[in-house]
Amino acid sequence: MGAKQVNEGCHGKAQVEISTTLLANLITSGALSGNDCRCLDSNARKTLWQSLLNLSIAEK
């Protein structure tokens, strides 16, 4: 399946449900940045915010 087939009809975006633990791990590992996250529910927003706060504390 080529990229064109995957992206047809979805404008190159996908919505997925993952655990808050996995989301936090992806953010803290650098695999996912806050800029990549859109349309977050309240749990995802809290997890993103807390992960970014934890990263800022760890870098000091």
Reported as a single tens digit per residue, the pLDDT across 20-57 is 999 999 999 999 988 888 888 999 999 999 998 988 88
- Predicted structure pTM score: 0.70
The pLDDT assigned to 14 comes to: 81
- Who wins on pLDDT, 41 or 7? 41
- Who wins on pLDDT, 60 or 21? 21
DSSP state of 39: S
- Who wins on pLDDT, 41 or 2? 41
Task: Answer whether residue 6 is part of any domain.
Answer: no
Q: Among 43, 44, 37, which residue's Cα sits nearest to residue 14?
A: 37
Helical spans, DSSP H, in 1-60: 3-7, 20-29, 42-58
Q: How many domains does the chain have?
A: 1
Task: Answer whether residue 33 is part of any domain.
Answer: yes
Q: Domain range for residue 23?
A: 17-58
Task: Answer whether residue 39 is part of any domain.
Answer: yes
